Amino acid sequence: MKFKNIALGLLAALGVAAAVGWSSLDKETRALLATLPTNRDLLFWSQAQRDAGFRALDRLPILAKSHVVAAGPTPSPLPPGPPLKLAVDVDAYMAGQRSAALLVLHDGKLRLERYGLGFDRDGRWTSFSVAKSVTSTLVGAAIRDGFIRSMDDKVSDYLPQMKGSAYDDVSLRQLLTMTSGVRWNEDYADPNSDVARFNNHQPEDGVDALVSYMRRLPREAPAGQRWHYSTGETNLVGVLLAAAVKKSLATYLSEKIWVPAGMEQQATWLLSRTGKEISGCCLQAASRDFARLGQFILNGARVDGQSIVPDGWLLEATTERTGIGQPGRGYGYQWWTYTDGSFAARGIFGQGIFIDPKRKLVIASNADWGAGATDRTASQARDAFYRAVQQAIDDEPASAGAAVNAAAAR
């Protein structure tokens, strides 16, 4: 039985267990149910719990509150292309990544599609911080739609409850580039870090949970002068965005991207304690739809020939706006950038969408890295795989030309 079906069966069995009692369940069912996580602190789940939970976050009783991102009636096609000839062992690479899904689109054609960990094309896997790049794109759409006036508007222009906080004079541009200068601890291994604590924060009455947490943080550096990675700031962007568009982010995502881009399955977006989408994380979608998302961005975020974002905005978003202290790498508007013009959405435990406009290339991956949220070895191996795919694409015209010359010589 595929692990996906086991996980879905487990979720159904939870209801049975609640109705008829744990003792009445057979030994195998009790053992399988014991694999599922029973606490909200997913950064500290065991590997077995992550394997089970990452494909079902929106159905776990401990995390079940989510909004649906509706899909349209007609999925956009993913026509097959010739199998990609890689100079790497894909099986070994996927095993090292603990990969659940790996897809390569080239020129809109599906050149590689593989699955692991008992996962398959019909399941939904969580995005983690890949959602940050989605949120960024929705900001661009809101500017084009007139809901947000400017990237230089202040946070408190849209969230008056942030007045008097360290974010009072921070601009939307500084939030998107993570250069606010406000203190934040993103240490995934520290249970007392901000990223581990903020989702469990108990807000004051009448105040959004995230706003309540973020407005207490102190300033560490002048705004605009220092890059510092902060999931809290993306979540703050999401609260601001929802206030500006006056609808849920799930609804806006469906309207602007999910339906017009032709996603084949609905997605879900996990909610905070106060019912807002956690915009820096946790968009559950089919792996093919993550690949379609990359293709949509590669195509300029266009619907019927018209981009959903302002002219030039997407290029700004996907090229370096600030350095991050790593050679050849930078950060745009919630996108990780490379000096060769490629860029990526990245999430902990191995989630990613890599986009290379020069080569018309999209690589979508889902995984559960064995060494933890930010496995450096696995991350470097993923970058090496990206380069191997780029090289394979570059080698194809030369190979085709050599074949033509050989045939002519005969």
pLDDT at 340: 97
Count the neighbouring beta carbons within 10 Å of the beta carbon of residue 171: 20
Q: What is the DSSP string of 200-254?
A: G--PPTTS-HHHHHHTTPPB-S-TTS-----HHHHHHHHHHHHHHHTS-HHHHHI
Which residues are CB-neighbours of 216 under 8 A, at least 6 positions away? 165
pLDDT 10s digits, 376-389: 999 999 999 999 99
**For the chain, what percent of residues have pLDDT higher than 90?**
76
The pLDDT confidence band at residue 28, using thresholds 50, 70 and 90, is very low
Structure-block tokens of residue 373: 């949220």
The answer to whether 130 and 298 have CB atoms below 8 angstroms apart is: no
Going by C-alpha positions, the residue among 73, 132, 116 that lies closest to residue 269 is 132
- What average pLDDT score do residues 40-54 get? 90
Distances (CA, A) of 80 to 105, 158, 245, 382: 9, 45, 38, 23
Residue 22: pLDDT over 90 = no
> pLDDT (tens digit, 9 = 90+) per residue, 95-107?
999 999 999 999 9
d(CA 279, CA 233): 9
Considering only 168-177, 270-279, 348-357, 395-404, which range has the smallest mean pLDDT?
395-404
Arithmetic mean of pLDDT, 291-298: 98
Average pLDDT over residues 151-175: 96
Residue 352 has pLDDT above 50, yes or no: yes
Tell me the three state secondary structure of residue 187: coil
Q: How far apart are CA 72 and CA 35, in angstroms?
A: 35
Confidence of residue 9 (pLDDT cuts 50, 70, 90): very low
pLDDT score of 323: 97
Give me the pLDDT at residue 196, please. 79
All domains in the chain, ordered by first residue:
3-64 (no CATH), 68-125+285-410 (3.40.710.10)
For residues 274 and 212, give the distance between their C-alpha atoms in angstroms, rounded to a whole number: 11
What are φ and ψ of residue 362, in 5° steps?
A: -130, 130
Q: Report how far apart the first and last C-alpha atoms of the chain are (Å, whole number).
A: 52
pLDDT of 284 reads: 98
Structure tokens, 247: 């609808």
One DSSP character per residue, 330-377 reads: EE-SS-EEETTS-EEEEEGGGEEEEEEGGGTEEEEEEE--TT-TT-HH
Closest CA to 210 of 148, 269, 279, 163: 279
- Chain-wide mean pLDDT for the chain? 89
> CA 353 to CA 128: how far, in whole Å?
12
Residue-wise pLDDT tens digits, 246-257: 999 999 999 999
Percent of the chain clearing pLDDT 70 (strictly above): 88
pLDDT tens-digit profile of 268-289? Answer: 999 988 889 999 999 999 999 9
Q: Is 309 helix (H, G, I), strand (E, B) or coil?
A: coil
74 pLDDT band, cuts 50/70/90, is very high
Structure tokens at 353: 């969408």
Q: Cα separation of 303 and 11, whole Å?
A: 38
pLDDT: is 26 or 317 the higher one? 317
> What per-residue confidence (pLDDT) applies to 16?
42
pLDDT at 405 exceeding the cut of 70: no
Q: What are the C-alpha distances in Å from 98 to residues 58, 208, 334?
A: 22, 36, 25
The better pLDDT of the pair 272, 7 is held by 272
Distance of alpha carbon 388 from alpha carbon 402, whole angstroms: 21
